[in-house]
Amino acid sequence: MNETPMAVQYIKRSLLLSLMVMLVSACGFHLRGTGVTEVQLTALDVTAQNQNGPVATELRRALRQYNIEVNPEGGAEYQVQLLGERNTRRAISTTSQNSVGEFEIRLELDFMMFGADGEEVIPLSTIFSERTYAYDRSSLVASDQEQQLITSEIQRDLVEQLIRRVNATVRSQAEGAGQSDVESSAAGTDPEPQAANGSDTSDEP
């Protein structure tokens, strides 16, 4: 049975997407531009409006990959709250037949970070990631698979951004505490005795 060119193209595209999914899954998670040894955290409390959502799930997985304990019994020194996600998709180009040629997917995440004493260390902040992908009405299944792949990539990118932000904040807090200790130690040092001014008048004429 001969396959039409459209069917062959669909099969090739489906195989390519499947291969990309396997490669992305195998790559795991890593912080861009930094090494594992630079991760400052040993434990982190994570709360989310949707605890079983894809971003919260990916965040917990990534933290554990770095041997960072998530929601330890007794609590952690820092807590991250995932407050909301916004996922949008919009057409950004059309084909010669006036149908959609490309979509842009954008995911935004609102979060805050607190210390163990409840002090706000990262105020309400928003991070985002966006990607574009080609849309082919003649291969809807392949287009849907590509959208799912792109969405997963965006979620991983958001988690990567979040961990880098948290890690930088923890490092800054540690450096600030260390500087305060040095200044406190210096302030508590006894001053050296000063030599008396003027002539020695201990002997009377």
Q: In what order do the strands lie in the sheet with 78-94?
A: 69-70, 43-48, 78-94, 100-115, 120-134
Residue 183 lies in a domain: no
Q: Which structural domain, as residue segments, surrounds residue 123? A: 38-172
Is residue 196 scored above 90 in pLDDT?
no
pLDDT tens string 6-48: 444 544 555 555 555 444 444 444 454 444 346 788 999 999 9
Question: What's the number of domains the chain is made of?
Answer: 1
Considering the domain boundaries, does residue 93 fall inside one?
A: yes
pLDDT of residue 197: 53
Residue 119 in domain? yes
Classify residue 72: in a domain, yes or no: yes
Residue 182 lies in a domain: no
Instruction: Quote the pTM value.
Output: 0.69
Residue 116, pLDDT score: 84
Residue 205 lies in a domain: no
User: Which two three-digit tokens encode residue 80?
Assistant: 């991250």
Residue 71 inside a domain? The answer is yes
State how far the Cα of 156 lies from the Cα of 31, in Å rounded to an integer: 11
**Domain presence at residue 166:** yes
User: pLDDT, tens digit, for every residue of 39-93?
Assistant: 788 999 999 999 999 999 999 999 999 899 999 998 899 999 999 999 999 998 8
Task: Burial-class residue 173 by CB neighbours within 10 Å (0-12, 13-18, 19+).
Answer: middle
Length of the chain (residues): 205
Q: State the Cα–Cα distance between residues 173 and 170, nearest whole angstrom.
A: 5
State the CATH number of the domain containing residue 85: 3.30.160.150
